[in-house]
Structure 1
Amino acid sequence: MAKIAVFDSGLGSLSIICQIQRAFKSEIIYFADQQSYPYGKKSRAQLEKIIQQSIKLLEEFSPNFIVVASNTPSLMLNLSTPRIFDVRPPLKEARKITKSKQIGILATESAIKSKGLSQYIRQNIPKSFKIFKINGSKLVDLVESGKFLTEKNYCKKIIKKELQILDQNLIDVVTLSSTHLPFLKKYLEKEFPNVQFIDSGSIVVQKIFSKTKNMQSKNNSLKIFTSGNTKNFQSKLLKIGIKNKVNFLSF
């Protein structure tokens, strides 16, 4: 049986977890570290401490693998090991899809400003392409607050305001480089029908599956923990159809 621990600062992990559960059966430990939300406004030093503490905490569950389900620390820190998977913008995929050679990277404030992202772009994108780094922290807030479920008109207004750059340029592909952002994909596609929005969830899942294909379970199981208010988090999960009990966990 494959036991996989998945964590980030809140709801973002679910976009990865749902894809894992569709791809194969496993036991998942989900830790929403809401006490540390948002990762996207933390310094490198703050994130390093948070991630190290989170990994140490999750090691107590003896997982086979740990997924750092957030682009921000994945870009700002060196996390990838044989047992730890990180999540990064799917730039190689975007490069194959774009016809205009103009690609948007929608990510948190910290990720956008990080040296790690600049380096990652240089490694994966030729100079003949034009890259737009777009701060999506306010869109991440729409998801974590739960407003994407209850305040649709407000969400449309914020998305239109924050992504004016898409109307002003020939950007035809945008990477959803925060695991929160796939929850807004329907909004984004409706507002910008000529732009293709892609996330890295399936890429990460393929990597995990290659390591776990000989450890398959008969059923999926999901244990949920948060460092925030368990009742509030339970309420958010119920609105998206997840009825699992939420337990408190913190370092």
Structure 2
Amino acid sequence: MVRIVVFDSGLGSLSIITAIQKICKSEIIYFADQKNFPYGKKSKKELELIIKKTLNLLEEKFSPDLIVMASNTPSLMVKTKNKKIIKVYPPLREAMNLSKTKNIALLGTKTVVASKSLSNYIKKFNFPKVNKIYKINSSLLVNLVESNKFITNKLISRKIIKKILNNILKNKIDVATLSSTHLSFLKPLLELEFPEVKFVDPSYIVAHKVLANIENNNSKKNTLKIFTSGNVKQFQNNLIKLGIKNKVNFLST
């Protein structure tokens, strides 16, 4: 059975895991590194140390066939040589192709939107100068997901979404990328608040990359084992609210 480790700093991995399980069978190890939540407020140096330590731990403990770095922040900001790693990036080309106004928004964490790494990533596409990309710090929206407020208090969540995005998304923007894996959970609320904007989720792009890398897969069913470096009981409760009843195990980093 193909073994895939998927990790980020919390609930974000689940959006990627759901997409993977819809298109292929595999054994998935999900590691929520909540001890280091949020990645989106860490410096580049801090992230490099965290990711190096995490990758070594995951390799030693699980010997995976693939490792999915299910977070845009380290995917953009931390260079890795491990060929097993699949990263998640802002789906800018897909978003620009969808856009009629050629004005798109990139919703990401505080660290990402302010980073040189993101600026360099955008330059690679060589978009015409008339195309505009508005970078939006969405760390407060990430917190709505990790705290489960997007489920337990939809009214407050909608107010926060409107406060952060209203002014910018009215600026001829017709497409926005969900460039934190946590934000995939907010897609229904975002579409409710901004029905004229298309929100592009990269989860299925990542899932198809996974599928392309496990051609000799003979797995017959999906299995999921869950680990956290944070509070096991609290994380278990949050997962139950999402309809996930798998046992949560502690994994020290």
Indicate the TM-score class for this superposition, using the shorter chain for normalisation: over 0.9
Query: Which residue identity is paired with 1:63?
Result: P
The aligned counterpart of 1:41 is: 41
Equivalent in the alignment of 1:106: 107
* Contact kept in structure 1, 2:8 and 2:33, CA below 8 Å: yes
Cα gap change, 1:22 to 1:138, in 2 (>3 Å): same
Go from structure 1 to structure 2 and tell me whether the alpha carbon gap of 1:80 and 1:93 turns closer, same or farther (over 3 Å shift).
farther
Counterpart code for 1:239: K
**Would you say the 8 A contact 1:72–1:111 is kept in 2?**
yes
Per mean C-alpha deviation after superposition, the further-off stretch among 105-114 and 207-216 is 207-216
2-structure distance, mates of 1:80, 1:20: 23
Q: Contact between 2:4 and 2:27, CA under 8 Å: does it hold in 1?
A: yes
Confirm whether residue 176 of structure 1 aligns to residue 178 of structure 2. yes
1:79·1:85 contact (CA, 8 Å) conserved in 2? no
State the secondary structure of the residue aligned to 1:117.
helix
**CA distance, structure 1, for counterparts of residue 200 and residue 80 of structure 2:** 23
Relative to structure 1, is the Cα distance of residues 165 and 79 closer, same or farther in structure 2, using a 3 angstrom cutoff?
Answer: farther
Counterpart residue number, 2:168: 166
Quote the Cα distance in structure 1 between the aligned partners of 2:98 and 2:82. Answer: 29
Query: Identity of aligned pairs, percent?
Result: 58
Name the residue aligned to 1:90.
Answer: 91
Per-residue CA deviation, residues 60-100 of structure 1 (Å, 9 max, x unaligned), is: 20100101100011111223643101110001101110000
TM-score normalised to structure 2 length: 0.97
8 Å Cα contact 1:106/1:133 also seen in 2: yes
* Residues 72-87 of structure 1 mapped to structure 2, 5 A cutoff: 72-79=73-80, 81-87=82-88
Residue 236 of structure 1 aligns with which residue? 238
Which residue of structure 2 lines up, in the alignment, with residue 140 of structure 1? 142
Contact map agreement 1:24 1:216 (CA 8 A) in 2: no
Contact 2:105/2:169 (8 A) holds in 1: no
Where in structure 1 are there 5+ consecutive unaligned residues?
A: none
Residue pairs, 1:1-251, within 5 angstroms: 1-59=1-59, 60-79=61-80, 81-124=82-125, 125-251=127-253
Report the secondary structure of 1:212's partner residue: coil
- 2:157 alignment partner AA: C
1:66 touches 1:84 (CA, 8 Å); kept in 2? yes
